[in-house]
Chains A and B, each alone.
Chain A
């Protein structure tokens, strides 16, 4: 096997660390954020990855609730995705902090975690719980070879998956100060689009895995989940747009700027329409089975644009005092973000390979659906 991917990862991580130390030394002024635009690319990526982290639920649900036992080990691949996504999400929060070395102020016992009042304390708890649970289940699988599918812990992981989604959406929706988020539709919209892009990511992953684990039935199921959740996402969006534009008020100003545009802002106007166009194209392409990976790729990008920076940045425009603010991520932000993403993807590939190496010894444990024998 070539060592090149490992080296690229190493270099990316090193560059990312250097950029982070540079940012720690010079302060967050080295980002594109400011007192008007308080959160940007980092938190955008955090939000998106929390959505991805929960998509393991898509595979856990059929195994446990619809008795699709033959997908049990495929669900382990989903757990790998969840683990790396939630780990990367927590890294994005860390690099966004002004004084990350004081993280222990939020640890129960050592610090003064503001639980239950602060939604961020809830988010930290469920994210760390999800990280630990997925990490331990995977570790157990890799060490002992026991399939996590047999454990009720998997069900807990699924519940936590929905919880991290919901709590992260509530983290934003809890703020009357930010009308762009202050909507009961935010959590359902967030879950619908995250499931769409989560299943799209898993389609891309299972296309790379040959053999019984990535059966045609499994891929068909993922395509169906992707299509249905994308349609639900579009419906919820339409409901939101109706309210925003039928009788426009100040409350909807941020959202209207996001969709209709603001000259000179990277994340306004064109950004939303590109995001929605990519999602729409995915919906059209998914009809042709050969185009499914392309549809999945477009959807991953489209949802990242919308549920990443596109969900965070517009909430600050205009500001709470009606000022129009601008944000453009700095090279430090792009570098650190890219490094975390590369680290996450490499970690995922490494984990999935480990899991696949465990696979042959477990073929017997699992009731596999045999493929159709060839009849001459």
Chain B
């Protein structure tokens, strides 16, 4: 008896699957996963999609994550808010090199925990050293901060004139109106020219299918942000677009134990970010390359 029921359930399940797949005319007779795969292959560039197509893509992404990791997730495509251009300021006097930002970033953005895909690189520098040559990328002291050293966290600088965007041969990466440089992971062909062009080593390639487990998945996803990626595509820091476009802080700022990070809206004249940019001596990395980052560094007097 139970065998019959389970078979009926199975058939019902199959019928539901087929009905959903029928929404894709071309894949009407194939399993839904095939239809989804075909959809992602043939879908338009994100910026050319109608709002209906965007919704279809979001539901497809939710189904795909559910199938792959058995986690129910919510994927949004919240657009840039008017009157907002994001910026970041980082106080080098306060950074203690704890790498809490790196950890939080990996979890928030659904990066695998094998360490190959970290958007933030914190380097440890000798007090006398001001150039990146000779920086220690793999410091592992028993305790931070260490005597006589300072720490420089580097992530995507969200340039106003980004060389990566210019480089991409298929326009799979662009700068959003709120200043965030994003990637359409379904459009990227994986040539890595953007990463070659980036002067800040801010882009990461998926050299293999990223390994994530169900308990590692952050279920709040954004199409242009932290949705799980597949092998052969580029990814990068998006200032946690899935959080910041909802008015939250990026994960790295929230995780910073020393308050070195200040994220905000550059157009908000009363904001802390603007206060820092007006009253502190700030600088940007490799300013001579004319990339015009939205990321400033400063020190306490």
A residues within 8 Å of B by Cβ? 26-29, 33-36, 38-39, 93, 96-103, 105-106, 111-114, 117-121, 124, 174-178, 250, 253, 315, 318-323
Q: Which residue of A lies closest to B134 (CB)?
A: A322
Q: How far is the CB of B106 from chain A (nearest CB, A)?
A: 14
Residues of the B chain whose Cβ atoms lie less than 8 Å from the Cβ of A118: 166-169, 193
Indicate if B171 sits at the interface (CB-CB under 8 A): yes
What are 17 A-B interface contacts by the 8 Å CB criterion? A28-B190, A35-B207, A96-B192, A97-B189, A97-B232, A98-B233, A98-B234, A102-B190, A112-B187, A113-B169, A117-B166, A118-B193, A119-B167, A174-B197, A175-B197, A322-B131, A323-B135
Q: How many residues of B contact A (CB 8 A)?
A: 47
Partner of B201, one of A105, A124, A321: A321
Is B49 engaged at the interface, CB distance under 8 Å to the other chain?
A: no
Q: Does B101 make an interface contact (CB < 8 A)?
A: no
- Contact pick for A35, options B154, B197, B200, B205, CB 8 Å: B205
List of A residues within 8 angstroms of B207 by Cβ? 27-29, 33-35
- Using a CB–CB distance below 8 Å, which chain B residues touch chain A? 41, 45, 48, 116, 121, 123, 131-135, 137, 154, 163, 166-172, 187-193, 195-201, 204-209, 231-234, 289-290
B interface secondary structure, majority: loop
> Using Cβ atoms and an 8 Å threshold, which residues of chain B touch A114?
168-171
Q: Considering the chains assembled together, what is the distance between the CA atoms of A109 and B229 in angstroms?
A: 27
Which residues of the partner chain B approach A33 to less than 8 Å between Cβ atoms?
207
CB-based contact A106/B199 at 8 Å: no
Collect the chain A residues with CB atoms within 8 Å of residue B234's CB. Answer: 98
B-side contacts of A100, CB under 8 Å: 189-190
Nearest chain B residue, comparing its CB with the CB of A38? B192
Q: Are B200 and A28 in contact (CB under 8 A)?
A: no
Once the chains are docked, how many angstroms separate the CA of A138 from the CA of B92? 63
- Identify the 10 closest CB pairs spanning chains A and B, nearest first: A98-B190, A98-B232, A322-B132, A177-B199, A27-B208, A120-B169, A29-B207, A29-B208, A99-B232, A105-B170
Taking CB atoms, residues of chain B closer than 8 Å to A106 are 169-170, 189
Given the interface pairs A27-B207, A321-B121, the reply to whether A178 lies near B196 with Cβ below 8 Å is yes
Give the chain A neighbours of B196 by CB distance below 8 A. 38-39, 175, 177-178, 315
| Residue of chain B at shortest CB distance from A176 | B289
- Residue of B at shortest CB range from A99? B232
CA distance A118 to B208 in the complex (A): 26
**Chain A nearest Cβ from B290, distance in angstroms:** 8
Question: Which B residues are CB-close (under 8 A) to A26?
Answer: 208
Are B187 and A105 neighbours in the complex by a CB distance under 8 Å? yes
Point out the residues of chain A lying under 8 angstroms from B201, CB to CB: 36, 319-321, 323
Query: Do B163 and A112 have beta carbons less than 8 Å apart?
Result: no
Does A320 lie within 8 Å of B198, measured CB to CB? yes
Inter-subunit contact B209/A120 (CB<8 Å)? no
Known: A27-B206, A34-B207, A322-B132. 4 other contacts (CB 8 A): A114-B169, A120-B167, A121-B169, A177-B199
Return chain B residues, CB-CB under 8 Å to A321: 121, 123, 132, 135, 137, 154, 200-201
